[in-house]
């Protein structure tokens, strides 16, 4: 690894339809950590993640990912991205989806069974995706992002609508990935998930409200529960 900061945003501004969505955002993310991007719906979480994977037109500022400007062709194999809505082929089976994306990523064929097992879809590998539940479809989309051992995973609300057992299993998987050196940036509007992250970025109305470890934020606000931390931070501004 040639970088210590997996992500480095400086003065990032995004304007869409004449409205500024992100106002001069600065964020740094250490390699091999899990960062939670928390904030209410409409706070700009998805836009920020889109900047990281280089699909968002930005108004100004710099976005560096794995030591390279975001959107650089060399990053296309090193960054895995999961959108909020499952972006997989609904009319293909789980395995057919992964076979196709593995071919595009030039990932080894052995990855396919590994990622199916990692997201717990083994028994459904031959099922056509549109017959699966919403949570299962989301996991197919997640499995796709795991192909080819990416160094950075950008996950937009990956645990929405999953039952508690599955949520726990996925957070265990995310922890294992981080331990093996993968950097994860995970957005969520469920504040309790903050406990799984080493760093939290709290976003509100397109601006960073706070960026620190969960413990530091709890100490700073004197609140225990993340919802309460968020409220106190808003009141303090």
Binding site for another protein (CB under 8 A): 16-17, 53-57, 71, 73, 76-77, 79, 81, 83, 85-92, 96, 99-101, 103-106, 128, 144
- Other residues' Cβ atoms within 10 Å of the Cβ of residue 128: 15
Q: In the bound complex, what is the minimum distance in angstroms from residue 95's beta carbon to another protein?
A: 11
Q: In the bound complex, what is the minimum distance in angstroms from residue 92's beta carbon to another protein?
A: 6
3-state secondary structure of 12: strand
Residue among 101 and 171 whose Cβ is closer to another protein: 101
Residue among 1 and 55 whose Cβ is closer to another protein: 55
Q: Residue 81 CA to chain centroid, in angstroms?
A: 7
Q: In the bound complex, what is the minimum distance in angstroms from residue 74's beta carbon to another protein?
A: 9
Q: In the bound complex, what is the minimum distance in angstroms from residue 113's beta carbon to another protein?
A: 18
Nearest-angstrom CA–CA distance, 191 and 213: 14
Residue among 161 and 195 whose Cβ is closer to another protein: 161
Q: In the bound complex, what is the minimum distance in angstroms from residue 91's beta carbon to another protein?
A: 5
Residue among 32 and 54 whose Cβ is closer to another protein: 54
Residue among 31 and 88 whose Cβ is closer to another protein: 88
Residue 172: name the closest of 193, 137, 196 by CA: 196
Contact 171, 202 (CB under 8 A): no
């Amino acid at each position: 690894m040639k970088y210590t900061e997996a992500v480095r945003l400086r003065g990032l501004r995004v304007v869409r339809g004449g409205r500024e969505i992100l106002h001069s955002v600065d964020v740094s993310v250490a390699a091999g950590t899990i960062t939670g991007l928390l904030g209410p719906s409409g706070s700009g979480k998805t836009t920020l993640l889109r900047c990281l994977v280089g699909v968002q037109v930005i108004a100004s500022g710099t976005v560096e990912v794995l030591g390279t400007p975001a959107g650089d062709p060399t990053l296309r194999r090193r960054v895995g991205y999961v959108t909020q809505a499952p972006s997989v082929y609904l009319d293909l089976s789980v395995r057919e989806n992964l076979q196709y994306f593995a071919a595009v990523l030039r990932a080894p064929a052995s990855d396919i069974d590994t990622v199916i097992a990692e997201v717990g879809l083994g028994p459904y590998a031959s099922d056509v995706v549109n017959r699966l539940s919403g949570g299962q479809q989301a996991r197919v989309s997640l499995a796709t992002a795991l192909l080819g051992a990416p160094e950075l995973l950008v996950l937009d609300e990956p645990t929405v609508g999953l039952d508690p057992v599955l949520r726990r299993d996925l957070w265990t998987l995310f922890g294992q990935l981080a331990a093996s050196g993968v950097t994860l940036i995970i957005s969520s509007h469920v504040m309790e998930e903050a406990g799984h992250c080493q760093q939290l970025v709290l976003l509100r109305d397109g601006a960073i409200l706070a960026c620190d470890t969960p413990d530091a934020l709890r100490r700073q606000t004197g609140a225990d529960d993340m919802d309460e931390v968020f409220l106190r931070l808003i009141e303090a501004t």
